[in-house]
Structures are given as structure tokens and as C-alpha cells.
């Protein structure tokens, strides 16, 4: 436990907002690229970086240049955090592999080397929301994620309870009605169970990515409306 907390502290000091540890055994059921990505690793460290809440307040019906810059900067910072943490673990004699934060390897089916959201869910950072995104109690989906694989002897965190309930704010806000309003206790058996991925992908890759000063597939609308992590005025919190 002490060593695990030390590693989490190191990663937090590097700039992470949330850190959790997952056992890689159940993660081996995930699609990975390459297929044997997890072969040498017993633990997956999920690292989250918060995107400032007010960035999402700039979004109405489409992503904004401010959001695009924050999105891309967060990914770069996460890759730096994971790289430095990997070197730290390696100096202590352990294997460590940082998996890039936002690298898409299969653009037809929209897969990266591993699902950072699935790792983060198993590491207890949050639950899988109706919009398929990870929702954290502290920041909602206003986070970006990266994964660090290792064989270091770290204590595992467990998944937390889904708290979406009957909320349908993301369902109603989706500009292409892609979210089905289907809840899950743990995770969906497939992405298509929760949303129309093709409809969502077409919106963000064809229309939104071509907007001036955006240049990458992103949206942010369902993230903005999520009540978890929403900015609360001082008068409301009193």
C-alpha cells in the first residue's frame, strides 16, 4: 500500500488530477493493438487530467477553438506525465509502457492501442456514462485520459458505482440524437448498445473537425451538460 501511494503521489506531482490502478487480467478481454499489448504487464495505471470547466462553457452547439486547444494541450501534457512516470518506474527496476493519450490506430472502427476509458473505469476513476465516456465524481467527463502499463507490485483499485440514474441531459443535448439513454451497472457489452457510433463519428469527423481552428474530431456538447463536475457558484455552494 505504501509503495502504491508513493507512485500515485509521484504521478500527481507530475501534474495528474486523478490516478488509479487496475489489474490487467480482466483487461485482456479488451481489443488492443497489438493483440499482446498487455502480455508483460500486471497493472495498468489510469491517469486523468482535468480540462477546466469554463472551457466547456464556451461550447454551445459545436466545439470551439478554445476547447480544441485545451483538448490537444491536455493530451500532450498527459503523454509527458506518462512518459516521466514510466521512466521513474523503470529506474526502480520495473517495466513501464506509456500508451499515447489520443492516438487512433484504426480510424474505421475508432480504436486506439487500448481503451483508456475502460482502464480508468476498472481503476476506479469513474463509471461508464450513457454517452460512453468515463464520468468521474469530481470532474464529470471534463477529463482527458492516458494509460501507463507496468509490472510494478501496485495495489489495485476497484470500479465504482454508476451514478447516472435517470439523468438524460447528455441524451437530450446530443446534436445528432446518437445516445440511446441506456444505462448500465458496469459497462456495455458493445459500444452500439449505448449509442449510434457511426452517427456520432460522422458529426465529429466530417462537420466538426473541418470547422475553423478545430482540425480534429471532437465535440464536447454532452460533456458540458453533465451535472457531475459542473461549476457551482459560491452562492449556490453556501
* The pLDDT of residue 1 is above 80: no
How confident is the model at residue 95, as a pLDDT?
98
209 DSSP assignment: T
pLDDT band at 231 (very low <50, low <70, confident <90, very high): low
Q: How far is CA 27 from CA 48, 121, 176, 229, in A?
A: 18, 11, 31, 27
Q: In this predicted model, what pLDDT tens digit does every residue of 175-203 receive, in sequence order?
A: 999 999 999 988 898 889 999 999 999 99
Compute the mean pLDDT over every residue in the chain, rounded to the nearest whole number. 94
pLDDT at 171: 97
Partners of 45 in beta bridges: 21, 148
Cell matching residue 182: 441506456
Q: Minimal CA–CA distance to 160: which of 187, 119, 127, 116?
A: 127
Instruction: Name which residue leads in pLDDT, 233 or 121.
Output: 121
Question: Are 230 and 55 in contact, with CB atoms under 8 Å apart?
Answer: no
Task: Tell me what pLDDT residue 189 has.
Answer: 86
pLDDT (0 to 100) of residue 229: 83
Largest CA-CA distance found in the chain, in angstroms, rounded: 52
SS3 assignment, position 128: strand
Do residues 151 and 94 touch, judged by C-beta distance below 8 A? Answer: yes
Confidence of residue 232 (pLDDT cuts 50, 70, 90): low
Q: With 50 as the cut, is the pLDDT of residue 213 above it?
A: yes
Q: pLDDT above 70 covers what percent of the chain?
A: 97
- In terms of DSSP bridges, do strands 143-150 and 43-50 run parallel, antiparallel, or are they unpaired? antiparallel
How many CB atoms are located within 10 Å of the residue 93 CB? 8
139, 227 Cβ separation under 8 angstroms: no
Q: What is the pLDDT of residues 109-139, one digit of tens each?
A: 888 999 999 999 999 999 999 999 999 999 9
For residue 60, what pLDDT band results from cuts at 50, 70 and 90?
very high
Mean pLDDT (whole number) for 25-41? 95
**For the chain, domain boundaries:** 2-231
pLDDT of residue 230 exceeding 90: no
In sequence order, what DSSP letters do the residues of 135-199 get, joined into one string?
EBTTTBT-EEEEEEEE-S-PPPP-------TT--HHHHH-TT--B-----SS--SSGGGTB-HHH
CB contact at 8 A, 135 and 228: yes
* Share above pLDDT 90 across residues of the chain, in percent, rounded to a whole number: 88
Amino acid at each position: 500500500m505504501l509503495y502504491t501511494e508513493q507512485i500515485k503521489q509521484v504521478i500527481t506531482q507530475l501534474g495528474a488530477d486523478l490516478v488509479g490502478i487496475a489489474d490487467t487480467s480482466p483487461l485482456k478481454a479488451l481489443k488492443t493493438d497489438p493483440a499482446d499489448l498487455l502480455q508483460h504487464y500486471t497493472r495498468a495505471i489510469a491517469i486523468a487530467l482535468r480540462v477546466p470547466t469554463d472551457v466547456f462553457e464556451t461550447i454551445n452547439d459545436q466545439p470551439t477553438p478554445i476547447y480544441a486547444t485545451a483538448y490537444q494541450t491536455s493530451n500532450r501534457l498527459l503523454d509527458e506525465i506518462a512518459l516521466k512516470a514510466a521512466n521513474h518506474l523503470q529506474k526502480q527496476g520495473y517495466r513501464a509502457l506509456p500508451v499515447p493519450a489520443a492516438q487512433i490506430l484504426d480510424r474505421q472502427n475508432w480504436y486506439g492501442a487500448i481503451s483508456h476509458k475502460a482502464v480508468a473505469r476498472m481503476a476506479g476513476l469513474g463509471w461508464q456514462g450513457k454517452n460512453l465516456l468515463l464520468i468521474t465524481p469530481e470532474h464529470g467527463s471534463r477529463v482527458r485520459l492516458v494509460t501507463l502499463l507496468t509490472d510494478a507490485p501496485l495495489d489495485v483499485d476497484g470500479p465504482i458505482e454508476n451514478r447516472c440514474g435517470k439523468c438524460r441531459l447528455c441524451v437530450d443535448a446530443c446534436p445528432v440524437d446518437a445516445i440511446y439513454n441506456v444505462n448500465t451497472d458496469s459497462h456495455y457489452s458493445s459500444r452500439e448498445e449505448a449509442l449510434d457510433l457511426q452517427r456520432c463519428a460522422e458529426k465529429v469527423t466530417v462537420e466538426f473537425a473541418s470547422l475553423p481552428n478545430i482540425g480534429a474530431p471532437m465535440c464536447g456538447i454532452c460533456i458540458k451538460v453533465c451535472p457531475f463536475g459542473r461549476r457551482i457558484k459560491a452562492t449556490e455552494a453556501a
